[in-house]
Each structure stands twice: as C-alpha cells, then as structure tokens.
Amino acid sequence: MIIFLYGQNSYGIIQYVNELINRYQKKYPDSFNLHRFDLEEDNPDEIKNAIKGVSFFKQVKFIVTKNPFSQPALIEKVIRENGIAGQKETVLLLYEAKTAEELNKKGEKLFNLVKKEAQVKEFKPPTTQAAAKFATNELAKSKTSLKKELLAKLVRESGADLWRLKNELDKLAHFAKAEKRVISEEDISKLVNFKLDQNIFNIIDAAFSNQSKALVLFENYLADGRDEFYLLSMLAFQTKSMLIVRELTDEGL
C-alpha cells in the first residue's frame, strides 16, 4: 500500500502521519515494524533495504519517507520494481510539505505515478476559521482562558502557520498557569512577537496606485491562507485616514 500526503499545511501532515502510525501500532501490536527516512538527509539505499529486507517472522512494514521528491527517480523505481501498491504487509507512506505545482517541477513522473497508485491526501493551508477552531481546541486542552478578541488577534498574527500558533498558545498556557490568572491584552503584547505584515501594506499601497499589481498581491495573500476580512478592515482604515488627511488639506491645515 502507498499513502501520499502533500500540501502547505505541514502541521496537519505531521499530525496525520502520527495518527496513522498509532493506528497501525494498535492494529498490529506484535508485528508492527516502523522505519523512518528523510531523503534530504539519509542514505537513499536504506529505503530499498527496508523494503526488500526479509524477516523470519510475520511483520507489517510501515515505511515513513519524508521529502521523497528529493530522490524522485529512486522512489519511482522502488514503487515499480516492488509492486508496493498491491501489498498489504508493506505500507510506504510518502509525505512532503509542498504544493502540487512544486512537486511536479521536482518530479513530474513520480507525482503522476503516486496519484495513480497511492491513497492521496492534500493538506491545504488552514482558513482563518479552521485556525481559530484549532486554537480554541488547544486552549481547551490546556484549560486556558483567552478573550475572543485576543484569540482572533493571535490567529491573525499566526496566519496559516499552525506550528507558530501552537507554540504561542503553549507559551501563553504556561504563563497563565505560572501566574494563576487570565491572560490580558498586555500579556499578549509582551509574550507574542507581532511582526509587521508587509504584505498588507504592499496591497494597500498598490490598491491606490497600481490596481493590476494589487490584484496579483491579493491573490498571493489569499493563497497563503491569510484573512481577507482583516485585509478589508485595513483597507477601510487606510481609506478613512486618507479622507481625513484630504479634508484637513482642503482646510489648509
């Protein structure tokens, strides 16, 4: 069996990989044999040895392979020569945190092969609503309280990066537990390093000077899983500020 996971949501991919490993460990407690490889770091011959290796005991091989498109020709050869797609006792799990376009550039033949032979699952960047739900669940697990507007601010800051969102939530949870109090807006400002969102300012600037450029930037902004409503509020704020400045200019102030 071949399982192929890809997409920009690397956090979701890793969580799903761990979920599958746990599922197989429970299903085959006495015969589960786990192998892990990263083809950007490990000797590529090791994956061939793991697949071809013979055991005297009945076992289920679960071969987790990160960054398979670093060695596309090798993985394509391994799949074709060993007939893994039709095997039940061998599971080849391939995963890479990249888009379909990026993977096609790295190895078009392999990408077409796994789409045909594997169970494929794409992990797209989380929407703002999905990230907020994720954050709410994490806060519930740690029994941490956070006001709705502060949570929204934190989610906006993290964007589609669930790794960062998880780290920030863990940091806040530890702080709340140590201080034995509810987290305030001042605490958020001190504990979270809010970065300047240059994308927002570039889009706003282009919206009033080069609208074709603004449309391209806007499409890129959405492709990164960013919050369109936050962008709308910033555009409204900028428009209001420009009207105020114009009014004062007309009055000679």
pLDDT of residue 222: 77
User: pLDDT tens digit string along 120-160?
Assistant: 999 999 988 999 999 999 999 999 989 888 898 888 888 78
Task: Count CB atoms within 10 A of the CB of residue 56.
Answer: 5
To the nearest 5 percent, what fractions of the chain are helix, strand and coil? 60, 10, 25
Kindly state the helix (H) or strand (E) to which residue 80 belongs, with its residue range. Answer: helix 72-82
Q: What are the residue ranges in the chain where pLDDT is below 50?
A: none
User: pLDDT tens digit string along 152-189?
Assistant: 888 888 878 899 899 999 999 999 889 888 888 888 87
How far is Cα 164 from Cα 160, in angstroms, rounded to an integer?
Answer: 9
Sheet holding 60-66, edge to edge: 32-38, 60-66, 90-96, 2-6, 119-122
pLDDT of residue 95: 97
pLDDT of residue 24: 94
pLDDT of residue 92: 95
Closest CA to 68 of 163, 3, 8, 11: 3
